[in-house]
Amino acid sequence: MIIEKIKEDLKIALKAKKEPDISALRMVISAVLNKEIEKRGTSEKSELTDEEVQAVIFSEIKKRRDSVESFEKGGRDDLVAKEKAEIDILMSYMPKEMTEEEIREIVKEIVKNHKDIGSVMREVVPKTKGRASGSLVAKIVKEELK
């Protein structure tokens, strides 16, 4: 399970005193625990699956990317470097990101059967979830529908 690997990596980072790793891993463990607590309200089993943990990690990566954008606009290069380091750490727990060509192939296949953006996105998003950003997928879908 991914969460077990993250906890093990946190122990290693603590022993090595690797501050960026410690910060990022503690944050993701906390986010996973919060998601488990949230899930507990809706079902008996509150432990997250690997896919759900990856969704939490992806959400945290997205937050970091938004922060990088804001810090770059504000000229805070020190914080930009910190956030990018955390993104790199979190990306190691995610499946390999899809290339633009791989996404385009999926989109081309679906566009053969659908002609409106909503129905295409409904079929493409589940196939790319966690492996491609939604904005990139939307851009490619718009290009292929033209």
Which tens digits make up the pLDDT trace of 42-101? 666 678 888 889 889 989 998 999 999 999 999 999 999 999 999 999 999 988 888 888
pTM of the model: 0.74
Amino acid at 140: I
**CATH 1.10.10 spans which residues of the chain?**
100-145
- The pLDDT assigned to 42 comes to 66
The pLDDT tens digits of the residues spanning 11-47 come to: 999 999 998 899 999 999 999 999 988 888 766 667 8
Assess contact for 102 and 86: CB atoms under 8 A. no
Cα(41)–Cα(113) distance, integer angstroms: 39
Q: What are the tokens at 126?
A: 């589940």
> How high is the pLDDT of residue 69?
94
Question: Which CATH topology does 2-91 take?
Answer: Hypothetical Protein Yqey; Chain: A; domain1 (1.10.1510)
Model pLDDT, residue 44: 64
pLDDT tier for residue 133 given thresholds of 50, 70 and 90: confident
Residue 127's alpha-carbon distances to 72, 103, 120, 121, in angstroms, are 32, 9, 11, 10
Name the pLDDT band for 145 (thresholds 50, 70, 90). Answer: confident
Contacts of 126 (CB under 8 A, 6+ apart): none
Q: Please provide the DSSP assignment of 78-130 as one string.
A: HHHHHHHHHHHHHHTTSPPPPPHHHHHHHHHHHHTT--SHHHHHHHHHHHHTT
CATH number of 100-145: 1.10.10
- Give the 3-state secondary structure of residue 41: coil
Residues of the chain with CATH 1.10.1510.10: 2-91
More confident residue, 118 or 67: 67
Residue 142 per-residue DSSP state? H
pLDDT at residue number 43: 63
d(CA 125, CA 115): 16
